[in-house]
Structure 1
Amino acid sequence: MDFSKIGEKLKDFVSKKHVANIIVVMAVLVIALIAYSDFFVKSSNTKSSPGKLQDDVLVQTANRELTEEEALEKKLKTILETMRGVGRVEVMITLEMGSEIIPASNTVNSIDTTEEKDSSGGVRLMTSQSSTQNIVTSNNGSQQKPLVLKEIKPQINGVIVVAEGAENIEVKAELYDAVKTVLQVPGHKVQIYPKN
């Protein structure tokens, strides 16, 4: 074997033109491998467990916190369906606005008074006031939450109840009284309808 010939061929191969081509080919191969692995890993995960994905979506939906309207509707529906003569019930409650929360706060008021005398004997009093308000928070693990002094619940604008059995006047009257009592709303804000 002639090492000088091998060395010359190696030098020719490693010339600037060939090195640039080799780098380009290697970069294309790396990009292709990354794209290939991302595409097939994602598609195999979705193919192998479509039920799991749907379960996760259902779990996320179930873990969602109910709004005040939804919570009230759910409680009212549950209680109305247990009444004698009433079948399935649908409830809709509209609220004026969301809850209003009044947080605790630290307020610092300061008043600075300065007296200035000029060369002619005049005296001026300068007063400046400033106020700083900070919301008081409490640490709950890794979260900071404001300390709540008072929470004002929203006013109910109206209630509609659609119930099986509401075509009976006695059942309708009992539903009407139950809704007025539990929600503490005047009668003109409550409507009861029979269900198809």
Structure 2
Amino acid sequence: MKKYLQKLLGMSGGTGKPSKKAGYILVIGLIGLLLLIVGNVFSSTSKQDPSISEEIPGEVKEESTDETMLDKSKSSSSGVKEIETNYEEDLRELLNKIQGVSEAEVMVNLNSSKVKVYEKNLIKSQQSTEETDTNGGERDIEENSEETETVLVRQGDKEVPLLIQTKKPDVRGVFVVAKGVDHKSVEKWVMEAVSRVLGVPAHRVSVMPKN
């Protein structure tokens, strides 16, 4: 072993001292080994640290968009449900005041969204054309056209349609259960009351006697 180390360090046979070249090689090797150890230590610390995590902007943005759409959907549904409940309560109170009607219960079914009405400009145009046929006859042709254009207003750094009205959802159907409507005259009164109050045609109103 001693002879191997002497050979590795380039020792001269009698002096037992390593050559300068061997010393340089040994120092460079030790520095490289030290850098390798330090690099491994920092790499292991980075992998094991739970506070270090990679963020993926695309995924975060997509999740935020989905949550926003879900919130809007919930808000719209709750608004329609609130209108239905108000209609049902008002009709129930009204119908129970009709002569011969008691214990009335009402269910109102509305469309799923409100109707927004925007301001529009009506643009009319007229074009007249004179034509002469081969026999020398003349005739005038007038063409009229109409088109609408949504009015835009500036809001910050962008233009948006001018909203002038938000209509309540249309009524798809009404179901009434009450005592006394087995009499034709009473049933007719209930049908007429619901139709006029909600502005819904009679064929969308169902009236049934209650047990």
Question: TM-score band (shorter)?
Answer: 0.3 to 0.5
Normalised TM-score (structure 2): 0.43
Pair member with larger Rg:
2
**Which gives a bigger RCO, structure 1 or 2 (Cα 8 Å, sep 6+)?**
1
Normalised TM-score (structure 1): 0.46
